[in-house]
Structure formats: C-alpha cells, structure tokens
C-alpha cells in the first residue's frame, strides 16, 4: 500500500477486514490483563462524611465575631494541626493500623501513609450566592478495612469540630484579654492627658479661649468703672482743696479774733467729738486710725476740763488765767469734712489701683490668647484623641466579651456533621470496571498500532489506484482472485473465469 495515498472509507473497511485479528487479540488480552491486575491489587475502602459550617445564631450586626480569618485559611491551618505526626501516631497505635509494617517500617513512614489516606476537600459555594465563604467541607479516609476507615473518619471529624470550637473560644478569650490590657493603658494615658489639661486650665484660668468674650466684656466694664472712680477722685481732690481753703480762712479769722477759749466751748467741742466718735464706731472698728485719734482728742479735752475744775476749787494766782484755746464748731466741722474727704480720696485711690490691676490682668489675658489658644488646642486635641481611642477600645472590649460569651454558649459559628462517616460496602480501589476498560483501551491502542505498522510494510497491489500509484501506467484489465481447484464444478468455474479474462484482454482499447 502506498503510504502517500489518500485512503477512503472503503479502504479503511478493507483494512479492518484484513487486519481484524490484530485488533481483536490485543484487545482481549488487554481486557484480561486489566481484570487480572484489579483482582491482584489489594482492596481499599473509603469512608466519606460531609461537615457543614453553621453561621452564628446571633447576627453579625448585633455581636461582631472575633474570628475574622477566612474559613479556607482556617481549615487549612486546622488540617495541618489535626494531621500532625503526634495525633496520627496516636490513631495508628489506638486502632493498630498497618500491623504488618509496624515492626519494619519507621513510624514517620506510617504517619505519612496515613496522611495520604486522609483527604479534606472544601465545598465550593454555589454560583450566584451572596456568601463568599465556604459552606462546608468533605472528609474522606481510605484504608484497607471498611470499619477502620469509618472509625478513623469519625475521629478526624470529631477533631475538626473540637479544634474549631477550641479555636473560637481561645481566640475570643485572647482578644478580650488583649483589649482589656490595652484599655488599661489607654485609661492611664487618658488620665494623664486629663490631669495635664486640668493643670493647664487652672494655670491659665480666665485666659482660656472660651473666656475671651468674657474678658473683653469685663475689660470694658472695668474701664468704665475706672473712669467713674477717676472722676470721683478728681472731684474729691477739688473738694479737698476747697475745704482746705475754707478751713484756712476760718482759722485765720478765729486766731485774729479770739486767742483763748472758754470752758463752755471746750465742753461743746467734747460733746461734738463724742458724737463724732459714736458715728465712727458705727462704721469702723476700734483700731481704726480715726477712731483712735478721736478717742485721744476726747481724753485730752476731758483732762483739760478736769484741770479747769481743780483751778476753780483751789483758786488761781493769775486772775487772767484761762482755759486752753479750743477751736470753734465751724472750724471743727470743716476739719471733719476735710477728714471725710481725705478718707474718700484714699478709698477712691485704692479702688483706682485695684481697677488698674484688674485691667492689666485682663489685658495680659487677652494678649496671651494666641499662645494659650495654641497650647490649649494641642492639649485638647491630644485629650480628644486619647478619649476617642479609649472609647473605641472600650466598645471593642465589650463586643469581644459578648463574642466570648457567645462562644462559651456555643452560639457562634459551628461545624455540623450532615452525613455521618459511612461504612463502605464496596472497595473504592481498585475499580474493576475501570481497570477492565483501561485494559481493553490499551489492547485496542496496541492493535491499532500493529495494524498501522503492518499496512505500512505491506506493498501489495490490490486496486487500480495502487497500479497507477506504483507503476505510473494505466490498467488494461483486472484478473480476479482464482481460488484453488477443489472439484469439477470449481474447475469449470475457473475455466470460465479465464475465458472471461481473455475476452476482456482482446477487447481492451489500444490492443493490436
């Protein structure tokens, strides 16, 4: 057969008829080999279970969970911990796995073999669902005995559920403890900021930004008071000058008219001084300078009157002797007015000084406003930052406590076994139909290869196309296949065929 010739469907059918045994025999042998192999291999059984992830009983909007790690990552972490050497070694020793290899194979190899027998497969969420988390996962355990596979699958499932519960509770408790510690530190910083702010407010009391309008109002009112006091002081000063001039004039007139004073005038002056003393005692204490001076004057007058009485009793050598000179009531009244004016001037001067001090204090407070306001803003900002941080930590601590309580009551995210670990009835490996089908497929592939090789090596000429392809000339006639003679009938048939062939050759075109 020419290898470069294009084959038709009839050619393939002819090849299949000629080489059918090259396909059938390898296919039968492959099928038998696959079946024998699956019978020789040891049977393995798979126990299967499905675990669903139940959402918390309380919505996230009420109690925020403390475990924010993705379920896929958490499942991978739990798988590594559950399938660790320590836990699997306990399972191997508990169920007596691999009894034939326990003495000659290291424990690490047995643990590795058991790890490969355990398969944890996440369940992918359905398309179109809002939840992006894993709805659950499968656990498959494949071992040589079905009941052992079921027991191991049950143990692995229990480990996942216990580990998940322990992880939630431990993480919630650790989070609560951490937030409680941070809350204490935040409270200490808040107290420090509070004390600094209080000390600043005490130091600059009245000069704080919120006191600015008050200071301006007080400054305006104090300035008005100062103007009024200044006017009153000027008025008192003028009154003092006028009263002083009147007193000087009265003194001049009195000294020029009367050098002495009678006893009646002394008694009158004593009476006036006593009345003035009563008036002063009603307003001032006994230690007031005016009260002390007036008491001294009254004592002097009383002493003079007593001396005059003694002179009247014993008689005097000088008939012209008189009592000491005493000022008339007009002069005394002027002196009293002058004294009152002096007190008023002293009072107004003191008030003026106090008002001036207050004005200076208020002006200094207003001038310190930019510096105080900047420092006060800085302290207030730090205090507000510390307060906000403390409030945020307090809120998180309370939420963490609620989440911890929720985990202790097992109302949070939980694992639930939907299908208990199954007890396999048929082996999952080897799959006899699959092995037999694989052997059959391999035999057919081998037979097809053998057919291709045989056809490639076959140079037989069977059709007109083969003659044209190999010889490059046209076909004059076709000699049919002549079977060997087996009898008379066959011999006559062969002779008839030969005659038919010779007649075709004689009638062929181009023959001479």
Q: Residue 510 has what pLDDT?
A: 40
The architecture in CATH of the region 211-378 reads Orthogonal Bundle (1.10)
**C-beta of residue 418 within 8 angstroms of C-beta of residue 52:** yes
CB count in 10 Å sphere of residue 348: 20
CB burial of residue 236 (10 Å; 0-12, 13-18, 19+): buried
Confidence label for 511 from pLDDT (cuts 50, 70 and 90): very low
| Span 440-446, average pLDDT | 87
Provide DSSP, 353-373.
HHHHHHHHHHHHHHHTHHHHH
Helix (H) or strand (E) holding 52: strand 45-54
pLDDT > 80? residue 358 = yes
Average pLDDT over residues 311-316: 58
Domain ranges of the chain: 1-41+430-480, 45-182+414-419, 211-378
Are 75 and 120 a contacting pair, CB within 8 Å? yes
Report residue 321's pLDDT band, with 50, 70 and 90 as the boundaries. very low
> How many other C-beta atoms can be found within 10 angstroms of the C-beta atom of residue 147?
13
CB–CB of 125/135 below 8 Å? Answer: yes
Tens-place pLDDT, residues 458-485: 777 666 666 666 666 666 666 665 555 5
Q: pLDDT-derived band of residue 133, with 50, 70 and 90 as boundaries?
A: low
* pLDDT higher at 74 or 316: 74
pLDDT at 149 over 80: yes
d(CA 172, CA 164): 12
Q: Which residues contact 414 (CB under 8 A, 6 or more apart)?
A: 53, 54, 161, 164, 165
DSSP conformation class of 474: -
Residue 17 reports pLDDT greater than 70? yes
* Per-residue pLDDT at 350 exceeds 80: yes
Q: Which tens digits make up the pLDDT trace of 156-186?
A: 998 888 888 888 778 888 888 888 898 899 8
Confidence (pLDDT) at 477: 62
The whole-angstrom separation of Cα 414 and Cα 120 is: 17
| Whether the Cβ atoms of residue 219 and residue 359 lie closer than 8 Å to each other | yes
pLDDT band at 287 (very low <50, low <70, confident <90, very high): confident
Name 267's Cβ contacts closer than 8 Å, sequence gap at least 6: 305
On average, the pLDDT of the chain sits at: 77
Over 50: is that where the pLDDT of 318 sits? no
What pLDDT is stored for residue 5 in this prediction? 60
For residues 61-72, average pLDDT:
65
Integer Cα distance of 181 and 176 in angstroms: 9
Contacts 24+ apart (CB under 8 A), 84-89: 85/111, 87/159, 88/114, 88/115
Instruction: Look at residues 402, 400, 398, 404 and name the one whose alpha carbon lies nearest to residue 168.
Output: 404
Of the candidates 330, 162, 154, the one whose C-alpha atom is nearest the C-alpha of residue 257 is 330
pLDDT band of residue 140 (cuts 50, 70, 90) is: very high
Average pLDDT over residues 47-64: 74
Q: What SS3 class is residue 419?
A: strand
Instruction: Indicate whether 235 pLDDT > 50.
Output: yes
Q: How confident is the model at residue 49 (pLDDT cuts 50, 70, 90)?
A: very high
Residues 91-107: what's their mean pLDDT? 83
- pTM exceeds 0.75: no
List Cβ<8 Å contacts ≥24 apart for 295-300: 297/273, 298/270, 298/273, 298/274
Lowest-confidence pick of 52-61, 219-228, 282-291, 397-406: 52-61
Most confident of 63-77, 150-164, 409-423, 471-485: 150-164
Which tens digit of pLDDT belongs to each residue from 253-275?
Answer: 766 655 445 555 667 677 777 77
- Give the model's confidence band at 512: pLDDT under 50 very low, under 70 low, under 90 confident, else very high: very low
Q: Which CATH class is domain 45-182+414-419?
A: alpha beta
In this model, does residue 47 exceed pLDDT 80? yes
């Amino acid at each position: 057969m020419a290898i470069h010739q294009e084959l038709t469907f009839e050619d393939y059918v002819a090849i299949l008829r000629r080489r059918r045994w090259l396909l059938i025999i390898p296919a039968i042998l492959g099928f038998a080999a696959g079946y024998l192999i699956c019978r020789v291999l040891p049977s393995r059984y798979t126990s299967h279970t499905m675990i669903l992830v139940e959402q918390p009983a309380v919505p996230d909007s009420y109690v925020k969970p403390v475990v924010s790690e993705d379920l896929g990552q958490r499942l991978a972490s739990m798988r590594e911990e559950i399938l660790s050497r320590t836990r699997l070694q306990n399972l191997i020793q508990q169920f007596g796995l691999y009894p034939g290899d326990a003495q000659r194979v290291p424990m690490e190899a047995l643990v590795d073999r058991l790890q490969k027998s355990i398969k944890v497969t996440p369940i992918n969420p359905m398309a179109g669902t809002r939840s992006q988390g894993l709805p659950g996962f499968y656990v498959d355990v494949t071992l040589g005995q079905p009941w052992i596979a079921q027991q191991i699958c049950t143990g692995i499932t229990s480990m996942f559920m216990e580990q998940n519960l322990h992880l939630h509770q431990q993480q919630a408790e650790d989070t609560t403890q951490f937030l409680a510690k941070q809350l204490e530190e935040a409270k200490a910083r808040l107290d420090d900021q509070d004390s600094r702010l209080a000390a600043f407010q005490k130091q600059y009391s009245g000069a704080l930004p919120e006191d600015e309008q008050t200071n301006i109002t007080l400054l305006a009112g104090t300035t008005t008071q100062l103007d009024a006091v200044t006017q009153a002081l000027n008025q008192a000063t003028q009154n003092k000058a006028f009263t002083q001039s009147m007193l000087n004039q009265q003194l001049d007139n009195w000294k020029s008219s009367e050098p002495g004073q009678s006893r009646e005038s002394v008694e009158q002056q004593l009476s006036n001084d006593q009345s003035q003393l009563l008036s002063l005692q009603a307003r001032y204490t006994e230690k007031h300078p005016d009260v002390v001076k007036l008491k001294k004057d009254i004592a002097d007058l009383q002493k003079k009157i007593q001396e005059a009485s003694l002179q009247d009793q014993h008689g005097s050598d000088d008939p012209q002797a008189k009592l000491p000179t005493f000022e008339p009531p007009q002069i005394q009244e002027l002196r009293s007015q002058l004294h009152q004016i002096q007190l008023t001037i002293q009072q107004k001067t003191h008030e003026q000084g106090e008002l001036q001090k207050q004005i200076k204090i208020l002006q200094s407070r207003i001038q310190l406003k930019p510096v105080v306001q900047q420092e006060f803003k800085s302290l207030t900002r730090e205090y507000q930052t510390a307060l906000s941080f403390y409030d945020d930590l307090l809120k998180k601590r309370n939420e963490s406590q609620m989440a911890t309580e929720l985990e202790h009551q097992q109302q949070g995210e939980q694992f639930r076994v939907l299908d208990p670990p199954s007890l396999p009835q048929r082996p999952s490996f080897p799959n006899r139909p699959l092995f037999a089908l694989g052997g059959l497929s391999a035999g057919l592939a081998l037979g097809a290869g053998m057919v291709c090789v045989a056809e490639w090596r076959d140079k037989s000429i069977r059709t007109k196309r083969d003659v044209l392809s190999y010889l490059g000339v046209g076909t004059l006639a076709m000699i049919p296949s002549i079977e060997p003679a087996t009898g008379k009938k066959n011999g006559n048939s062969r002779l008839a065929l030969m005659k038919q062939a010779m007649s075709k050759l004689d009638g062929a075109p181009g023959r001479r």
